[in-house]
């Protein structure tokens, strides 16, 4: 009896779900969602062709260092890296002495307290410190950026779909452009508001951040690489890929080793099976 009741309840539940699915699909077909400018004119990110991409990707440390230089000279004025410590830079090829110098010379110092007076003060950064925020708090950040809050970039390439390519495309040389005449003709109300900038790689097409990479040579690379806007966009994308996944190479290596182990184990298991049952007639 209990089994029959349970079966009836199960059929009723499935029936309700089927009816709900039917009417939802019917409504979607009869009343399709209206077209939007975001849906029609939003562009998918371009391929940055980073060495870290793919199942066997590794970091090009020279490129990641160039990306750090772009972050330091262009992005750090507005965006924080609150989950990254100065000493982490040793993983991309900087020596201990270089990391110490970078930390000490960083423009923004760490908040502190004067032990003699108890008043707020600042101190020089040390390698164990995390990168300090360029603003004292969210209110100050919004006040300096037309009420827009610059996001932290530590995990940006993990927080966005196809993150590495997204960052590369968002700040690349063809990202900021005039609104297409076709968009304004089809969606007159979609005109970019004052204070925002049209960028087809951004989710709603209008972004508060002004173009960060405005000209070739904006950064002078220490290794002599020509700093075109496209090169700087690709390099900063590589750096932010590293900040989000500093253990990427180890993860790829561990995954590759695991696949090889499983393949060998399956072969040995198959051999053992054949050996144990070789005398058994079917």
Eight-state DSSP code of residue 258? H
Q: How far is CA 186 from CA 38, 40, 103, 178, 202, in A?
A: 12, 10, 51, 16, 19
Strand, coil or helix: 275:
helix
Residue 22's pLDDT is 78
Answer yes or no: is 58 within a domain: yes
In a domain, 240, yes or no: yes
pLDDT per position as a tens digit, 193-228: 999 999 999 999 999 999 999 999 999 999 999 999
Please indicate, yes or no, if residue 180 is contained in any of the structural domains. Answer: yes
Q: Is 266 marked within a binding site?
A: no
pLDDT at position 282 over 60: no
* Structure confidence by residue, pLDDT tens digits, 162-183: 999 999 999 999 999 999 999 9
Q: What is the CATH number of the domain that holds 218?
A: 1.10.760.10
In a domain, 26, yes or no: no
Among 247, 219, 249, residue whose Cα is nearest residue 231:
219
pTM: 0.85
What one-character DSSP code corresponds to residue 190?
G
**Ramachandran assignment for 75, one of left (phi > 0), alpha (psi -120 to 50 degrees), beta (any other):** alpha
Q: 1 labelled as ligand-binding?
A: no
**Contact yes or no for 89/81 (Cβ under 8 A):** no
The predicted-structure confidence for 54-64, as pLDDT tens digits, reads as follows 888 999 999 99
Q: Is 137 or 31 the better-scoring residue by pLDDT?
A: 137
- Contact indicator for 225, 65 with CB cutoff of 8 Å: no
Residue burial 201-233, b: 16+ Cβ < 10 Å; e: rest = bbeebbbebeebbeeeeebebeeeeebebbbbb
Q: Which of 220, 107, 218, 231 is nearest to 168 (CA)?
A: 231
In the block, tokens 């924080």 appear at 80
Domain for residue 102, yes or no?
A: no
pLDDT in tens, 6-41: 888 888 888 888 888 877 877 777 766 667 878 889
Structural domain includes residue 236: yes
182-194, pLDDT tens digit by residue?
999 999 888 999 9
Residue 274 to residue 276: CA distance in whole angstroms: 6
Tokens coding 97: 């002495």
* Rounded distance between C-alpha atoms, residue 113 and residue 129, angstroms: 16
Domain range for 70 is 37-84+137-250
Q: Quote the number of domains for the chain.
A: 1
Task: Say if residues 93 and 61 touch (Cβ distance below 8 Å).
Answer: yes
Task: Categorize the per-residue pLDDT at 115 as very low, low, confident or very high, splitting at 50, 70 and 90.
Answer: confident
Examine residue 211 and state whether it is found in any structural domain, yes or no.
yes
Under the banding of pLDDT at 50, 70 and 90, the label for residue 87 is: very high
Question: For residue 269, is it within any domain?
Answer: no
> Is 78 assigned a ligand-binding role in the annotation?
yes
């Amino acid at each position: 009896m209990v089994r029959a009741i349970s079966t009836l309840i199960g059929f009723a539940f499935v029936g309700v779900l089927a009816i709900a699915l039917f009417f939802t699909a019917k409504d979607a077909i009869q009343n399709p969602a209206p077209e939007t400018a975001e849906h029609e004119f939003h562009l998918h990110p371009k391929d940055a062709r980073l060495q870290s991409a793919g199942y066997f990707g590794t970091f090009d440390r020279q490129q990641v260092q160039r990306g750090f230089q772009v972050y330091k000279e262009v992005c750090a004025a507005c965006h924080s890296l609150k989950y990254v410590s100065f000493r982490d830079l040793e993983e991309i090829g900087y020596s201990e002495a270089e990391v110490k110098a970078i930390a000490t010379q960083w423009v923004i110092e760490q908040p502190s307290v004067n032990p003699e007076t108890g008043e707020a003060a600042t101190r020089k950064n040390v390698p164990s410190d995390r990168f300090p925020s360029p603003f004292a708090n969210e209110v100050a950040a919004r006040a300096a950026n037309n009420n827009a809050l610059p996001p932290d970039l530590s995990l940006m390439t993990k927080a966005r779909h196809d993150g590495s390519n997204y960052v590369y495309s968002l700040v690349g040389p063809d990202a900021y452009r005039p609104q297409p005449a076709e968009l304004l003709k089809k969606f007159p109300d979609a005109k970019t508001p004052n204070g925002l900038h049209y960028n087809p790689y951004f989710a709603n097409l209008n972004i508060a951040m002004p173009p960060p990479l405005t000209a070739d040579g904006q950064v002078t690379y220490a290794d002599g690489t020509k700093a075109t806007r496209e090169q700087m966009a690709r390099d900063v994308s590589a750096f932010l890929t590293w900040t989000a996944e500093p253990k990427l190479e180890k993860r790829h290596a561990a995954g590759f080793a695991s696949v090889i182990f499983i393949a060998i184990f399956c072969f040995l298991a198959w051999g053992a099976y054949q050996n144990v049952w070789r005398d058994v007639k079917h």
